[in-house]
């Protein structure tokens, strides 16, 4: 264990896409745990699109934006290295939204869950497929989307950690899975690695025609991660009574001008569509069930995952910017130890 705590601090709100100037690297003494607390050495940091919203300078749904000097918000997987808490002995692995830092003291109340290691389930997946990412896919698809066998499920950002999990869950439920991703290479990954039936390239100018070919029977569930023109296009090919779980709106996170407005909102009436946003914290009661199912799929190799891993906390800002630009495949992590 090193003798300093390396942190990434929020420095300033971006104008559009973040740059390295919006972050600051700090080195502080490693904290000591008091009675009823424990010290974590963090092994992995998860980088996720929602963090961009907390930085300000664009659209956000959260009132809890960051202030200059704050530690950047993010989930970590850590190992207890010192403990004065009877329920968290040295060697315990935990996940919590404890910030972009290599060490942190916790009393257990700010954790997501304690990791109970399973055979053939790598620790890093507890920040991805077996963590909040996978549970987000599970909740959005199974609870909000509620697909039936034989239906067509379309998911945007399909090469990412949430989208790739959604498509594989849909296939496991007996559905046709169609992904939307950026560029031929990512589309090949979606079909050849993640096992989708088809994938369409949103960077081409014929999105509607590609979708019609990939989903000839229309769309029954659209798992939306991006909003904007992609959402408008998919709505145009939704079947009657289609469901649209809204997980995110990547198209707006760095938006500076007037927001894109959908021109076909009448389809909600014409086709009796259901569109519902969901927030993971509203479904905490089913997190363990979802995580257990995802663990089993990883262990049985029924679920394929990919990770893009940067090394060292100092490289977290560049990895975060790259993730927002779509340079990652699967889950974007930072390896800290």
- Does some domain include residue 109? yes
- Does some domain include residue 300? no
pLDDT for 249: 74
Structural domain count of the chain: 2
Q: What is the pLDDT of residues 140-169, one digit of tens each?
A: 999 999 999 999 999 999 999 999 999 999
- Does some domain include residue 62? yes
Q: Mark whether 143 and 276 lie in a shared domain.
A: yes
Phi, psi (degrees; rounded to nearest 5) at 152: -100, 125
Q: Mean pLDDT over residues 238-248, rounded? A: 95
Q: Mark whether 171 and 119 lie in a shared domain.
A: no
DSSP classification of residue 139: I
pLDDT for 250: 66
DSSP classification of residue 330: B
For residue 58, give every residue at least 6 positions away whose Cβ sits within 8 Å of its Cβ, in sequence order, or none.
Answer: 14, 16, 52, 252, 253, 254, 255, 256
Report residue 288 CA to chain centroid gap. Answer: 18
Q: Go through 277-310 and write b for each residue having 16 or more CB atoms within 10 A of its CB, e for each that does not.
A: ebebeebeeebeebbebbbebbeeeebebbbbeb
- Does some domain include residue 178? yes
Of 60-64, 291-295, 328-332, the poorest mean pLDDT is in 60-64
Q: What is the pLDDT of residues 244-286, one digit of tens each?
A: 999 877 655 555 566 666 788 899 889 999 999 988 778 888 9
Q: Mark whether 195 and 315 lie in a shared domain.
A: no
Q: Which domain holds residue 104?
A: 4-128+306-335
Q: Which of 161, 154, 215, 207 is nearest to 182 (CA)?
A: 207
Q: Mark whether 124 and 140 lie in a shared domain.
A: no
Q: Mean pLDDT over residues 90-119, rounded? A: 96
- Does some domain include residue 159? yes
Q: What is the pLDDT of residues 69-90, one digit of tens each?
A: 999 999 999 999 999 999 999 9
CA 71 to CA 25: how far, in whole Å? Answer: 10
pLDDT for 130: 96
State which of 281, 297, 317 marks the end of a domain. Answer: 281
pLDDT for 283: 83
pLDDT for 23: 98
For residues 169 and 141, the answer to whether their CB atoms sit within 8 Å is: yes
Q: Mark whether 138 and 277 lie in a shared domain.
A: yes
pLDDT for 306: 94
DSSP classification of residue 313: G
Q: In this structure, what CATH number is given to the domain that contains residue 247?
A: 3.40.50.720
pLDDT for 61: 61
pLDDT for 64: 67
Confidence check: pLDDT of 63 > 70? no
Q: Mark whether 277 and 327 lie in a shared domain.
A: no
Q: Mean pLDDT over residues 294-307, rounded? A: 96
Q: Mark whether 169 and 273 lie in a shared domain.
A: yes
Q: Mark whether 185 and 265 lie in a shared domain.
A: yes
pLDDT for 281: 77
Q: Mean pLDDT over residues 89-106, rounded? A: 98
């Amino acid at each position: 264990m090193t003798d300093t705590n390396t942190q990434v601090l929020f420095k300033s709100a971006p104008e559009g896409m973040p740059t390295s100037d919006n972050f600051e690297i700090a080195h502080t003494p490693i904290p000591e745990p008091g009675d009823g607390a424990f010290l974590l050495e963090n092994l992995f940091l998860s980088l996720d699109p929602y963090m961009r919203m907390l930085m300000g300078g664009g659209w956000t749904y959260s009132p809890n934006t960051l202030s200059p000097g704050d530690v950047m918000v993010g989930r970590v997987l850590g190992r207890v290295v010192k403990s004065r808490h009877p329920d968290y002995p040295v060697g315990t692995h935990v996940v919590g939204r404890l910030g972009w830092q290599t060490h942190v003291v916790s009393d257990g109340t700010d954790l997501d869950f304690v990791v109970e290691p399973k055979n053939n389930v790598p620790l890093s997946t507890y920040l991805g497929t077996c963590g909040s990412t996978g549970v987000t896919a599970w909740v959005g698809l199974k609870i909000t989307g509620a697909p039936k066998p034989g239906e067509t499920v379309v998911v945007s950002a399909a090469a990412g950690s949430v989208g790739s999990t959604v498509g594989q869950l849909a296939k496991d439920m007996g559905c046709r899975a169609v992904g939307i991703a950026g560029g031929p290479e990512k589309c090949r990954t979606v079909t050849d690695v993640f096992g989708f039936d088809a994938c369409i390239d949103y960077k081409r100018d014929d999105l509607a025609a590609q979708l019609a070919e990939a989903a000839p029977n229309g769309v029954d569930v659209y798992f939306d991660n991006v909003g904007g023109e992609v959402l408008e296009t998919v709505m145009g090919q939704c079947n009657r009574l289609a469901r649209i779980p809204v997980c995110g709106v990547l198209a707006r996170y760095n938006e500076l001008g007037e927001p894109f407005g959908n021109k076909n909102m009448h389809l909600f009436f014409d086709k009796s569509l259901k569109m519902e946003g969901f927030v993971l914290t509203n479904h905490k009661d089913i997190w363990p069930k979802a995580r257990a199912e995802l663990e089993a799929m990883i262990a049985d190799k029924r679920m394929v995952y990919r990770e893009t891993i940067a090394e060292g906390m100092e490289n977290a800002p560049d990895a975060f910017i790259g993730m927002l630009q779509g340079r990652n495949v699967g889950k974007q992590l930072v390896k800290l130890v």
